[in-house]
Amino acid sequence: MKQHSPQQLQIFLDIATEAAMAAGVILQTYWGKLEEIEEKGRPGDLVTAADKEAEAAILKVLERHVPDHGILAEESGEQGNKQSEYLWAIDPLDGTTNYAHQYPIAAVSIGLLIDGIPQVGAVYNPFRDELFRAARGLGATCNRRPIHVSSTSELGKSLLVTGFAYDRRETSDNNYAEFCYLTHLTQGVRRAGAAALDLCDVACGRLDGYWERGLSPWDITAGVLLVEEAGGKVTGYDQSPLIIGSGRLLATNGRIHNSLSKELLQVPPLSTWVSK
């Protein structure tokens, strides 16, 4: 992979920030004023006018600054230069279900993959006015102040977060057993409903670990980099190198990574929990 200077990455980070802030204005404008909410095929997989207009605003910024780059956007799919080493993974509204219910855990997430590796990320929650930013080798910040993962070193003293994919009603591989099992082993497991913000909360030390399945690249590209640049660790469940397109990840402060991975890999099936 071609090396990029800190100055080049900073330029890309500023572009991501501009796009995220533009989308955030649109999310605030539509807040509480949605006239129509659609389902995209699966129960609970929602899309609104806010998603679509926020994505259009992001694409407009990218077209102005980096017209020769590739784009993978949640609502409009893959577009732009498909041969480019640069791929922008865009979620204009992570947490659409929360947003539709006026539950203020939602954000814009914009990440840049270079040769398949996250190199730049910006996540903006306009309802808490929190802007998370990171670029490879340049650290991670929240509202321009450096952030770091927590120092929790025991799984039993940790606070975790996870989520449940839209296909949870259709598959037994739905994370319910893991949620219950790890709730018993830790100080708690939260479910906020926005993967990008879950990763940001690990990055800034509010939470100690996060795992989930059924994720898309636009959900996690920015957040993965934030965790890593804040001193944390991100892998597959079994600690193998993360594959962005796999849909599964384990992200922690690094200190509980090994123990959380081991527990995840030995969760008994939910069907065995109830005696017959």
Domains of the chain, start order: 6-146 (3.30.540.10), 155-270 (3.40.190.80)
Structural element, H or E, at residue 78: strand 77-80
Task: Give the gyration radius of the chain's Cα atoms.
Answer: 18
Specify the pLDDT at position 276.
42
Q: At what angle do helices 195-203 and 217-229 cross, to 10 degrees?
A: 0
Which residue do the tokens 């879950």 mark?
198
State the greatest distance between any 2 C-alpha atoms of the chain, in Å, as a whole number: 63
Q: What is the pLDDT of residues 66-125, one digit of tens each?
A: 999 999 999 899 999 999 999 999 999 999 999 999 999 999 999 999 999 999 999 999
Select from 93, 80, 89 the least CA-distant residue to 54.
Answer: 93
Q: What is the pLDDT of residues 7-54, one digit of tens each?
A: 999 999 999 999 999 999 999 999 988 766 665 555 555 668 889 999
User: Could you tell me the pTM of the whole model?
Assistant: 0.93
Select from 264, 71, 12, 22 the least CA-distant residue to 162.
Answer: 264
